[in-house]
């Protein structure tokens, strides 16, 4: 098979301009994108730098963007991204500075992982043998430890694009792994730590991490689990909790979202609520105030929505 | 720059991490240097599990005996006894450190069957056991605040006045060379799979630590013992765990027969790996294969089991062979997987040399796949490797820490890096040539896989020896296109190739030296095991004209050699 590859290049030792180089290489039929890159770097252009090791989607070295989307190139078949022999574009991961070509600086990424206290902290005397834990608990956790910390989710996270301080999907998925481990004795402190600013409540559910995760870990699902755990643990004094409660309440009572109230409810302190005044003024000036004005009306048929809520709440209680 | 630590560990796989934790517990200043981020290490690849005789009906003696028998009586029994005796408490400790092992109905650790074992004693985390263990090892290293020098590549050991005093390493991000001073150095740098093509091993498994130790005079032991795993994918050499057969999968030939009944009537698919690989190759050579493969059949295990306990290999078969294990059998063949040989060390990880390898090299330790503590002898049992990493990682960490406490820092300065710097500058300044690193590596891999594989003979081995010598010669003439400093992977591949060439030379010469068949070494010209002459380890010492080979007695405690059947 002929593979046409356009590769993002950057050489800090050379002229330091970001540009693309184009290569065409011959590969076996079932070749992966990584095979193309290895062929280029071994046989065509030895100046190309790529991180890779296991070739079987387990070490997490080879995350980068193919045609704009983060993935592990070692398990991305050429035939999937270029079914008709099209040229593909390979770039380094996003949300991280580039060191050279396809190699990015991962220090911030690792520091965020380190910040979640990523080791188990049992309390009390250790049992003589193993901790007795139901297999289903372990099976649930095994889903999270499938994460190989490749960084693909962080690369394509839309929150990190605007707020680099966000803990990010990889660290938060790992955080869940510890918070939910029945052997850990510090669940409450953990949930408090992960609830802080830049933590679990800053995810906007954009689904990017679920889509790009090459291991099917779906980090966002674990972030949502963390939120449930935090609320269940009584950690309700957070804008995020108020936000979701207000949202649910408004939809339940009126059939749709009361945006003005949602904003007001989300902030806990009066001084924070006051900060919304200029936002409100700007909303009016830009003509973005809802047609109903500041007054929120019940939608026709809202009682059906209310019934759905009551039905579900009944099931959960 | 010059960095200084009491104990320096080269390698952040599970062996290196476990050693670091123990040394730190002892209170010394320890650091780990690694060419990839710790969780990128090859320990990740281990799928199947880790052995221990924790079960009530099991015993350490049974585990030890299975290991001795699996080794074809070449393993050192003093070390094997320690391995089997200490396994249970080490597994429990791993569980306490946070490993999410699969459980049984009562919530206790659950086991699966593995090859060559008389009892189901393999503990596991789905089919990602190595990854699960490696990540926990890394977590613990963070807990213990052990500094890691990530993406630093060790280029030589500092050996002065009769002792090892540290190493020199390249910082990959800047291309700078640094001196690491240490009172003790533990090499935990993994295997050398990339000297073979294909191999189940990661691209980083290039035998660096073996070459570094060999060059300061430490012998490499039993290097001819190269394990071919029975179930690898033909396309890229990726491995489908023995755990699949442990869960009940079959091997069938082109006639649809479970051919293992001919070769190992009792253990069938779960005979030891050398036996199964040889059987497969015999079937294939006799024309009962399909495109050079036999079939691994998992269909009768059912979708639920496959998706829960064998999920990763289901993905691998899908991605690399386009096979759905739930509905189709998968073509597999023997593929290079593991090296039983390595740097000669004892059960505390102390590297040995001198007359009958009876003396310790002061300040030097080796553990994990890079070492030959001689647990595996001629053939490693599945799930004994991860175990060796924790048992001897722990023991060497403790021993090295205690040793370091008795030592002062040597007077080694930044100027020591100059030797390595000169060599690298010369390499970079050489003009471009037609021989590229990748090309030489491929020729090496093909040669090894052709002549130093499941079946060997003198003619083939001599061809391989000559070819490796030729490649060593040509290596002297290569030129690199990449002259840069930052992340120059071209330079690193060249250094890795140089290491692999030295190690490959030892592997082929050792295979030629051992004139018998034992474990993974099957010589068609010497098809029998010959205990009278060859119940011995091979030792290879570096000389200017290539390896000098010698033999060393095997340590036998309880189990006299017997005929081996499965
Ligand atoms: C596919 C596969 C499946 C396996 N399954 C099992 C199993 O089920 N059970 C089992 O027991 N075993 C299994 N094994 C074997 C086992 O995984 C390995 O033998 C073991 O993990 C090796 O660990 P290690 O700590 O010695 O080295 P590695 O994990 O390979 O780590 C080596 C370390 O050394 C560092 N390093 C190397 N060279 C340098 C250098 N020049 N400078 C600096 N750092 C360097 C690397 O960065 C890395 O951190 C399997 C192996 C493979 C390939
Ligand atoms: S090379 Fe290891 S994940 Fe791709």
ipTM of the prediction: 0.94
Pocket of ligand 1 (CB under 6 A): B 10-16, 33-36, 41-43, 45-50, 129-130, 153-154, 188-191, 200-201, 204-205, 208-209, 239, 241, 337-338, 368-370, 382-386, 389
Please say if the pLDDT value at position A317 is more than 60: no
Are the CB atoms for A166 and A202 separated by under 8 Å? yes
Instruction: List the catalytic residues of B.
Output: 273
User: In sequence order, what are the residues at sequence separation of 6 or more whose Cβ sits closer than 8 angstroms to the Cβ of residue B419?
Assistant: B156, B168
Report the distance separating Cα B371 and Cα B392, nearest Å: 10
DSSP annotation string for B93-147: HHHHHT----B-TTSSBPEE--TT-SS--EE-STT-HHHHHHHHHHHHHHHTT--
The two three-digit tokens of residue A86, written as one number: 């099209």
Superfamily of chain region A2-104: Beta-grasp domain (3.10.20.30)
Pairing relationship of beta strands B546-553 and B536-543 according to DSSP bridges: antiparallel
Calculate Rg over the CA atoms of chain A.
Answer: 24
- The residue among B92, B58, B89, B119 whose CA lies nearest residue A132 is B92
Position in ligand 2 atom list of the atom nearest CA A74: 4
Domain ranges for chain A: 2-104, 107-232, 240-315
Pairing relationship of beta strands B122-123 and B111-112 according to DSSP bridges: antiparallel
* Burial of A140 from C-beta contacts in 10 A (0-12 / 13-18 / 19+): middle
Partner residue facing A133 (CB), from B40, B103, B436: B103
**A11–B484: do the CB atoms touch at under 8 Å?**
yes
**B487–A142: do the CB atoms touch at under 8 Å?**
no
Please say if the pLDDT value at position A276 is more than 90: no
The DSSP bridge partners found for residue A87 are A4
Span of A142-156, A169-183, B109-123 with lowest mean pLDDT: B109-123
**A132–B487: do the CB atoms touch at under 8 Å?**
no
Please say if the pLDDT value at position B260 is more than 90: yes
* Burial of A192 from C-beta contacts in 10 A (0-12 / 13-18 / 19+): middle
Task: Please tell me if residue B480 touches chain A, with a CB cutoff of 8 Å.
Answer: yes
Q: What is the mean pLDDT of chain A?
A: 93
**What average pLDDT score do residues B228-241 get?**
91
Report the distance separating Cα B464 and Cα B504, nearest Å: 9
The secondary structure of B86-107, three-state, reads HHHHHHHHHHHHCCCCCECCCC
pLDDT at B483: 94
Please say if the pLDDT value at position B469 is more than 80: yes
Q: How many residues does chain A have?
A: 317
pLDDT at B163: 97
DSSP B48: S
**B36–A59: do the CB atoms touch at under 8 Å?**
yes
Pick the CATH number of A107-232 from 2.60.120.460, 2.60.120.260, 3.90.100.10, 1.10.1060.10: 1.10.1060.10
pLDDT in tens, A76-132: 999 999 999 999 999 999 999 999 999 999 999 999 999 999 999 999 999 999 999
The dotted CATH code for B232-334 is 3.90.700.10
pLDDT in tens, A66-84: 999 999 999 999 999 999 9
Name the minimum distance, in Å, from the CA of A280 to any CA of chain B: 47
The two three-digit tokens of residue B81, written as one number: 């006894």
pLDDT band at B127 (very low <50, low <70, confident <90, very high): confident
Q: Which of residues 94-123 of A touch B (CB under 8 A)?
A: 99-101, 103, 106, 110, 114, 118-120, 122
Pick the CATH number of B416-553 from 2.60.40.1890, 1.20.58.100, 3.30.1490.20, 1.10.3720.10: 1.20.58.100
pLDDT at B205: 98
Backbone dihedral region for residue B560 (phi beyond 0: left; psi -120 to 50: alpha; all else: beta): beta
Angle in degrees, 0-180, between the axes of helices A259-266 and A276-285, rounded to the nearest 10: 160
Identify which of B129, B189, B317, B384 to mutate to test ligand 1's pocket (most ligand atoms within 8 A of the CB).
B189
**B319–A45: do the CB atoms touch at under 8 Å?**
no
Are the CB atoms for B389 and B15 separated by under 8 Å? yes
The two three-digit tokens of residue B211, written as one number: 């070459």
Kindly give the distance from the C-alpha atom of residue B94 to the centroid of ligand 1, in angstroms, as a whole number.
18
pLDDT at A42: 96
Span of A40-49, A238-247, B88-97, B241-250 with lowest mean pLDDT: A238-247
Ligand nearest to the CA of B47: 1
**CA-CA distances (angstroms) from residue B93 to A15, B44, B97, B121, B125?**
52, 19, 6, 16, 15
pLDDT in tens, B277-303: 999 999 999 999 999 999 999 999 999
Kindly give the distance from the C-alpha atom of residue B337 to the centroid of ligand 1, in angstroms, as a whole number.
11
Q: What is the mean pLDDT of chain B?
A: 96
Task: Please tell me if residue B248 touches chain A, with a CB cutoff of 8 Å.
Answer: no
The DSSP bridge partners found for residue A21 are A7
Note the pTM of the prediction, 2 decimals. Answer: 0.95
Q: Where in chain B is the domain with CATH 1.20.58.100?
A: 416-553
Kindly give the distance from the C-alpha atom of residue A73 to the centroid of ligand 2, in angstroms, as a whole number.
7
Report the distance separating Cα A246 and Cα A259, nearest Å: 10
pLDDT at A137: 86
For the stretch A289-298, contacts whose Cβ atoms lie closer than 8 Å and that sit 24 or more positions apart, written own/partner, are: A290/A259, A290/A260, A294/A260, A296/A250, A296/A254, A296/A258, A296/A260, A296/A261, A297/A254, A298/A253, A298/A254, A298/A255
Residue with token string 């009586």: B73
pLDDT in tens, B338-364: 999 999 999 999 999 998 999 999 999
**What average pLDDT score do residues B451-469 get?**
97
Report the distance separating Cα A104 and Cα B450, nearest Å: 38
pLDDT in tens, B16-56: 999 999 999 999 999 999 999 999 999 999 988 999 999 98
Are the CB atoms for B221 and A70 separated by under 8 Å? no
pLDDT band at B384 (very low <50, low <70, confident <90, very high): very high
pLDDT in tens, B506-560: 999 999 999 999 999 999 999 999 999 999 999 999 999 999 999 999 999 999 9
Report the distance separating Cα B362 and Cα B162, nearest Å: 7
Span of A208-222, A244-258, B362-376 with lowest mean pLDDT: A244-258
**Among all residues of chain B, which has the CA nearest to that of A125?**
B96
pLDDT band at B432 (very low <50, low <70, confident <90, very high): confident
pLDDT band at B132 (very low <50, low <70, confident <90, very high): very high
DSSP B218: P
pLDDT at B96: 97
- Across A271-282, b (16+ Cβ under 10 Å) vs e yields eeeeeeeeeeee
pLDDT at A293: 66
The two three-digit tokens of residue B93, written as one number: 């400790």
Please say if the pLDDT value at position A216 is more than 90: yes
**What average pLDDT score do residues A206-221 get?**
96
pLDDT at A316: 65
Pocket of ligand 2 (CB under 6 A): A 52-55, 57-62, 72, 74
Name the minimum distance, in Å, from the CA of B236 to any CA of chain A: 9
Which residue, by CA, sits nearest to atom 31 of ligand 1?
A: B13
Determine how many CB atoms are found less than 10 A away from the CB of residue B119: 17
pLDDT at A294: 65
Identify which of B67, B385, B392 to mutate to test ligand 1's pocket (most ligand atoms within 8 A of the CB).
B385
For chain B, what percent of residues have pLDDT higher than 90? 92
């Amino acid at each position: 098979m002929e593979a046409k590859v356009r590769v993002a290049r950057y050489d800090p030792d050379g002229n330091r301009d970001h540009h693309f180089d184009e290569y065409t290489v011959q590969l076996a039929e079932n070749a992966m994108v990584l095979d193309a890159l290895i062929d280029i770097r071994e046989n065509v252009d030895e100046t190309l730098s790529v991180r890779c090791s296991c070739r079987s989607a387990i070490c997490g070295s080879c995350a980068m963007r193919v045609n704009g989307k983060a993935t592990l190139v070692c398990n991305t078949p050429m035939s999937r991204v270029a079914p008709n022999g099209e040229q593909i574009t390979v770039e380094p991961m996003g949300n991280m500075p580039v060191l050279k070509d396809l190699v990015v600086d991962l220090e911030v990424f690792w520091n965020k992982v380190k910040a979640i206290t990523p080791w188990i902290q049992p309390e009390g005397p250790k049992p003589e043998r193993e901790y007795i834990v139901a297999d289903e608990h372990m099976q649930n956790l095994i889903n999270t430890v499938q994460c190989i910390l490749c960084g693909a989710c962080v690369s394509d996270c839309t929150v990190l694009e605007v707020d680099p301080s966000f803990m990010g999907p990889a660290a938060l998925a790992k955080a869940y792994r510890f918070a939910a481990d029945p052997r850990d004795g510090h669940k409450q402190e953990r949930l408090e730590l992960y609830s802080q600013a830049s933590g679990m409540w800053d995810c906007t559910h954009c689904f990017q991490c679920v889509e790009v995760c090459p291991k099917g870990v779906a980090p966002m699902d674990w972030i949502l689990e963390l939120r449930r755990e935090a609320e269940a643990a009584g950690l309700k004094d957070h804008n995020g909790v108020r936000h979701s409660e207000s949202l649910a309440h408004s939809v339940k009572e009126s059939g749709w979202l009361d945006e003005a109230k949602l904003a007001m409810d989300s902030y806990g302190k009066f001084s924070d609520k006051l900060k919304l005044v200029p936002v409100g003024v700007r909303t009016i000036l830009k003509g973005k105030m809802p047609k109903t004005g500041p007054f929120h009306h019940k939608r026709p048929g809202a009682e059906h929505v209310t019934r759905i809520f009551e039905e579900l709440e009944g099931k959960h209680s | 720059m010059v960095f200084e630590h009491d104990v320096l560990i080269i390698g952040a796989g599970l062996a290196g991490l476990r050693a670091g934790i123990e040394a730190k517990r002892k209170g010394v200043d320890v650091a780990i240097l690694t060419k990839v981020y710790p969780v990128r290490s090859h320990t990740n690849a281990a799928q199947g599990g880790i052995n221990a005789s924790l079960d009530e009906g099991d015993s350490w003696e049974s585990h030890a005996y299975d290991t001795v028998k699996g080794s074809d009586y070449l393993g050192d029994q003093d070390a094997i006894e320690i391995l089997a005796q200490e396994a249970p408490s080490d597994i429990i400790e791993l569980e306490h450190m946070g490993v999410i092992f699969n459980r049984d109905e009562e919530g206790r650790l659950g086991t699966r069957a593995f090859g060559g074992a008389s009892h189901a004693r393999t503990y596991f985390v789905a089919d990602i056991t190595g990854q699960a263990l490696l990540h926990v090892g890394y977590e613990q290293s963070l807990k213990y605040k052990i500094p890691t020098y990530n993406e630093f590549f060790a280029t030589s050991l500092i050996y002065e006045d009769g002792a090892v005093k540290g190493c020199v390493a390249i910082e990959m991000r800047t291309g700078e060379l640094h001196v690491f001073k240490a009172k003790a150095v533990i090499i935990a740098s993994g295997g050398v799979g990339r000297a073979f093509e294909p191999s189940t091993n990661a691209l980083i498994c290039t035998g660096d630590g073996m070459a570094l130790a060999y060059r300061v005079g430490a012998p490499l032991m039993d290097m001819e013992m190269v394990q071919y795993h029975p179930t690898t994918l033909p396309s890229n050499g990726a491995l489908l765990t023995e755990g699949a057969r442990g869960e009940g999968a079959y091997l069938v030939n082109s006639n649809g027969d479970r051919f293992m009944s001919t070769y190992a009537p009792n253990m069938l698919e779960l005979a030891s790996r050398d036996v199964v690989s040889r059987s497969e190759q015999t079937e294939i050579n006799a024309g009962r294969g399909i495109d050079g493969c036999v079939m691994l059949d998992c269909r009768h295990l059912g979708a639920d089991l496959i998706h829960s306990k064998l999920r990763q290999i289901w993905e691998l078969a899908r991605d690399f062979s386009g096979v759905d294990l739930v509905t189709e059998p998968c073509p597999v063949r023997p593929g290079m997987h593991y090296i039983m040989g390595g740097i000669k060390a004892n059960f505390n990880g102390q590297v040995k040399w001198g007359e009958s390898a009876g003396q310790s090299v002061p300040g030097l330790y080796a553990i994990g796949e890079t070492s030959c503590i001689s647990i595996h002898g001629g053939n490693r049992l599945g799930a004994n490797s991860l175990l060796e990493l924790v048992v001897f990682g722990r023991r060497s960490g403790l021993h090295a820490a205690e040793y370091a406490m008795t030592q002062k820092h040597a007077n080694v300065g930044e100027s020591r890096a100059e030797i390595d710097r000169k060599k690298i500058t010369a390499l970079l300044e050489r003009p471009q040539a037609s021989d590229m690193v990748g090309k030489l590596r491929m020729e090496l891999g093909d040669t090894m896989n052709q002549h130093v594989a499941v079946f060997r003979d003198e003619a083939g081995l001599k061809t391989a020896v000559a070819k490796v010598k030729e490649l060593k010669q040509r290596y002297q003439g290569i030129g690199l296109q990449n002259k840069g400093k930052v992340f120059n992977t071209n330079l690193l591949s060249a250094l890795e190739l140089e290491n692999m060439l030295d190690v490959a030379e030892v592997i082929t010469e050792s295979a030629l030296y051992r004139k018998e068949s034992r474990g993974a070494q099957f010589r068609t010209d010497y098809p029998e095991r010959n205990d009278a002459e060859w119940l011995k380890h091979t030792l290879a010492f570096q000389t200017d004209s290539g390896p000098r080979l010698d033999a060393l007695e095997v340590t036998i405690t309880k189990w006299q050699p017997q005929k081996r059947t499965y």
